[in-house]
Amino acid sequence: MAELLFWPALIAYGEAAVAYVGVLRRPELATRLAIWGVRIGWLAQTGLLGVEAWQADGFPWASWAGALNLFVWFAVGAYLIWGCSPRYRLLGLAVMPAAAALFAVAGVGGSAQTRGSDLFVALHVGLVVAGFAGFALAAALAGLYLWQERRLKRRPVGLLRLGPPSLLTLDGLVARVSAVSLGAFTAGIAVGLVRGHDLDLAVAGALAAWVVFGAALVLRRELGWRGKRAAYLTLAGFALVAFLGLPAGHLG
């Protein structure tokens, strides 16, 4: 059953990723195709996760592949809420190819493995993965901000052609997505610490990322660190989470 849902989800995500690449040539048609790919893929993946949860005795996404599957679901879900519209088609170009690739990797990694029926594990992994997915989306938004900012500075002739969201919109979204994700991430870390998780490299990385994202939000509020500075801090926080092995080391 899970197999039957995996392939439609992967095909739909793949279709969306390819369609987003076509945005640069035929924006209207490509965007419509891409958005439908995202919607269908996410529904199929939701079904897949539902079947895995139904078939499992405990928390089904404790393995690295399961956590990656859950991460993609959160990330695409957040993208559906925040940005799955023609205005944000360039964000889709950053999100969907990565989502399709990670989902494929999760599929190769094997089927869901349960790890007891511990509520702490479910909460810890669920919240950390949700936070991480939000950070990934915030990083994609920050990347889009920096790209658009650079274009506005360089003043290319076709500046108005692609019509990405305005700088202020992107800046505000980076802050909001970061704040919501930081909340989920903080709760996930707190659950892990209550559970008595050892302080290893992955936890240190998670705490460092927490500090960076938290600092970005505080500096924004207190010292007006917006725009480029906020975008660079968001990317730095995401790099810490991604490259200190959090997804594989911490959740595996």
Binding residues for other proteins, rule: CB under 8 A, are 148, 152-153, 155, 157-161, 165-169, 220, 223-230
Q: CA 105 to CA 68: how far, in whole Å?
A: 8
Q: Which is nearer to other proteins, 120 or 147 (CB)?
A: 147
Q: Which is nearer to other proteins, 168 or 248 (CB)?
A: 168
Q: CA 185 to CA 241: how far, in whole Å?
A: 11
Q: How far is the CB of 152 from other proteins (least distance, A)?
A: 5
Q: How far is the CB of 78 from other proteins (least distance, A)?
A: 21
> What does 98-135 look like in DSSP terms, one character per residue?
HHHHHHHHHHHT-S-B-BTB-HHHHHHHHHHHHHHHHH
Residue type at 56 in one-letter notation: A
Closest C-alpha among 103, 240, 220, 125 to residue 173? 220
Q: Which is nearer to other proteins, 114 or 148 (CB)?
A: 148
Closest C-alpha among 142, 112, 164 to residue 2? 112
Q: Are 21 and 62 in contact (CB under 8 A)?
A: no
Q: Which is nearer to other proteins, 120 or 232 (CB)?
A: 232
Q: Are 172 and 227 in contact (CB under 8 A)?
A: no
Fill in the DSSP letter of residue 63: S
Q: Are 89 and 42 in contact (CB under 8 A)?
A: no
Q: Which is nearer to other proteins, 197 or 228 (CB)?
A: 228
Q: How far is the CB of 89 from other proteins (least distance, A)?
A: 15
> What does 82-94 look like in DSSP terms, one character per residue?
HT-SGGGHHHHHH
Q: CA 66 to CA 79: how far, in whole Å?
A: 20
Q: Which is nearer to other proteins, 199 or 223 (CB)?
A: 223
Q: How far is the CB of 169 from other proteins (least distance, A)?
A: 5
Q: How far is the CB of 158 from other proteins (least distance, A)?
A: 6
Q: Which is nearer to other proteins, 52 or 171 (CB)?
A: 171
Q: How far is the CB of 93 from other proteins (least distance, A)?
A: 18
Q: How far is the CB of 15 from other proteins (least distance, A)?
A: 24
